[in-house]
Amino acid sequence: MRHGDGSPPSPGTGVYPGSEPGQGRGEQAGRPQQYAGQENGQQGNGQQGNGQQGKGRRKPGWRGRRARRKQIRAARRTIVGRHPFLAAFCAVILVLTPVWVSLGQALTDPGLGSSVGARGAEWLRTHGFSSVVNWTENQWYSHHPPPVGGKPASSAIPKLGSGGSGFSRTTVVHLPTPKRMTSPAGHRLPGEGVWHPVGRRVGKVPAVYETWVRPDAVHTSLVIGVAWMDTRLLRATLYSGSTIPGGGPFKHSAPIRKTAAKSLVSAFNAGFLMSNADGGYYTNGRKFVPLRTGAASFVIYKNGSANIVAWGHGKRATLGPDVVSVRQNLDLLVKGGRPIPGLNPDDTTQWGFTLGNAVYVWRSGVGITRNGALVYAGGPGLNITTLADILARAGAVRAMELDINTDWVNYATYRPHGAHAAATPGNGKNLLPDMFGGPDRYFASWWSRDFITMSARTPQRKTVQVRHRPGHGAQHG
């Protein structure tokens, strides 16, 4: 048999004259030349009378097959063809580049938490992995329950100074000082439940009082902080963020401006992410999330007063012209001065899915008393029932849960020098020594969650009557 120009192939090579090396019969049959040459050699030996012409071909071993695959890949014209697995890996990395960028930004964003783990969890929650995060957190907290028994460490008890009213003789219209709280743990320890004035004075009168109690009769080494706020002296403002509720721009958003800082007395966290809050969000004439009838609602009115209601139930629980902001979060915990009947911490359909609510974690809540004061409670080792019990003991007639987990529970007061001096992180103080995140978070541009501030009103003066009785000192009416 002859090639196109009639020339026979070179003996023993399988290469035709005029052709390039590697274009012999071996490659035409789809095999590298070295195997074709080996076969030709074996046939030649048979023709020389070795008696092996009739024997079958011996298959190459794994090294031969590996070499053959390498030669086939090397013969391919593209890098993808020569390195398919590397090309696939690079393609996956390229396609997921937006994911890596988003995750990297989240892990370096302090607004998503004080630790890398907390930031990663928040990122996963907002990207469809909420159930995975919840399951993981439930497992962790279930295997790391709070300590049982014991007494609080001295470092866990806030340094509040001496108790008392702190009123001066010249006073203003204010609410009466709250009575000492009873302890959920039973017998009160020294200082437990005693109220202490803290923060900026309004007209020389304390507007905020704080105390501490133990959460229950089992976890007696834990400390819960409680704050009482005089709404005759303070006005409330809802600050919104790009994470909660999302969107914007907002009239009030972090950082707190200098003009607002000159009257700031306290600030505290709001509620869950809106995807977990089972409620709505309204502020400054705009509904960011539709309001739900029956949801526990923190309502702020034009005059700065605040109320806590089940939305749609009652005269002041509707969206009238005097309503400035409504922040909803789950359902009421306390109603009529008592924890709601049948309160079940395992009912995730009512109390949210964030941590299953059956475990003891950092939690917070806010309530309103019969005379209109606001009470805040927050600390470790709480579940729904113990949080509701503490708020009721603090005098709340209605109360709701706010945010949970260590990174999000925070209450801070500020006491600058001077009646109209600006509040700053330097003159701020947390409700509990071991609260995560300092008083500076509300002054940071990166803080992207909503929160509530309580600021000094212009005080309304009242006449102080001084009565003198024989043999007695002055008595103030």
pLDDT confidence of residue 30: 43
Please, which residues bridge with residue 411 across strands? 268
If you ran DSSP here, which 8-state letter would residue 133 be given?
Answer: H
pTM of the model: 0.76
Taking only the tens place, the pLDDT of each residue in 178-229 is 999 999 999 999 999 999 999 999 999 999 999 999 999 999 999 999 999 9
Same domain, 204 and 325: yes
Is 292 found in the same domain as 167?
yes
In a domain, 273, yes or no: yes
Structural domain includes residue 406: yes
How confident is residue 352, by pLDDT bands cut at 50, 70 and 90?
A: low
Q: Residue 1 pLDDT > 50, yes or no?
A: no
Distance CA 73, CA 82 (A): 5
Residues 257 and 369 in one domain: yes
Which of these ranges, 132-136, 247-251, 462-466, has the smallest mean pLDDT? Answer: 462-466
- Distance, CA of 67 to CA of 63 (rounded, Å): 6
Report how far Cα 331 is from the mean position of its chain's Cα atoms: 20
Asked if pLDDT for residue 417 goes beyond 70, the answer is yes
Domain membership flag for residue 4: no
Residues recorded for the chain: 477
**Same-domain pairing of 282 and 376:** yes
Q: Considering only CA atoms, which of 373, 355, 375 is closest in space to residue 364?
A: 375
Nearest of 357, 364, 370 to residue 412 by alpha carbon: 364
Whether 260 and 362 map to the same domain: the answer is yes
If you write DSSP's letter for every residue of 155-213 in order, what string do you get? GGS------S----SS-BS-PPPPPPPPBTTBSPPTTTT--EEEEEEETTEEEEEEEEE
Based on the domain organization, do 253 and 369 belong to the same domain? yes
Per-residue model confidence (pLDDT) at position 308: 98
Highest mean pLDDT among 157-161, 169-173, 471-475: 157-161
Does one domain contain both 83 and 224?
no
Radius of gyration of the chain (CA): 37
Residue 118 lies in a domain: no
In angstroms, the CA 174 to CA 205 distance is 8
Supply the pLDDT for residue 153. Answer: 92
Residue 366 token pair: 């806010």
Average pLDDT along the chain: 82
Q: Within this chain, do residues 67 and 162 fall inside the same structural domain, yes or no?
A: no
**CA-based end-to-end distance of the chain:** 129
CA distance 27 to 14: 10
> Which pLDDT value is given to residue 121?
81
Rounded Cα gap, residues 426 and 438, in angstroms: 10
Tokens representing 392 are: 């009721």
Q: What is the mean pLDDT of residues 353-361?
A: 63
Residue 121 located in a structural domain: no
- 118: confidence class by pLDDT, cuts 50, 70, 90: confident
> For 267-318, how does the pLDDT look when each residue is reduced to its tens digit (9 = 90+)?
999 999 998 899 999 999 999 999 999 999 999 999 999 999 999 998 889 9
CA distance 248 to 267: 21
Residue 296 contacts residue 400 (beta carbons within 8 Å) = yes
Q: Does a structural domain hold residue 227?
A: yes
Is the pLDDT confidence value at 391 over 90?
A: yes
pLDDT at 46 over 50: no
Q: Same domain for 243 and 377?
A: yes
Number of domains in the chain: 2
Percent of the chain surpassing pLDDT 70: 76
Same domain, 256 and 368: yes
Q: Are 385 and 339 in contact (CB under 8 A)?
A: yes
Residue 255 and residue 404 in one domain: yes
- Say which DSSP state 247 is in: -
Which amino acid is located at 382 in the chain? L
87 by Cβ neighbours in 10 Å (0-12 / 13-18 / 19+) ranks as middle
* Percent of the chain clearing pLDDT 90 (strictly above): 53
Residue 391 gets which letter from DSSP? H
Q: What is the pLDDT of residue 410?
A: 97
pLDDT given for residue 43 in this prediction:
46
Residue 61 pLDDT class (50, 70, 90 cuts): confident
CA distance 358 to 32: 68
Residue 187 lies in a domain: yes
Confidence of residue 385 (pLDDT cuts 50, 70, 90): very high
Question: Distance of CA 9 to CAs 25, 27, 39, 201, 261, Å?
Answer: 10, 14, 16, 107, 96
**How large is the average pLDDT for residues 227-253?**
95
Reported as a pLDDT band with limits 50, 70 and 90, residue 75 is low
Q: Are 247 and 391 in a shared domain?
A: yes
Q: Tokens in use for 360?
A: 């003891």
Residue 20, pLDDT > 50, answer no
What is the structure's pLDDT at 232? 96
Residue 335 within any structural domain of the chain: yes
C-alpha dist (Å) from residue 118 to 1, 89, 110, 114, 304: 77, 29, 10, 7, 34
Domain span including residue 77: 28-48+59-88
- Sheet containing 286-289: which strands, arranged edge to edge? 286-289, 281-283, 323-328, 296-301, 306-310
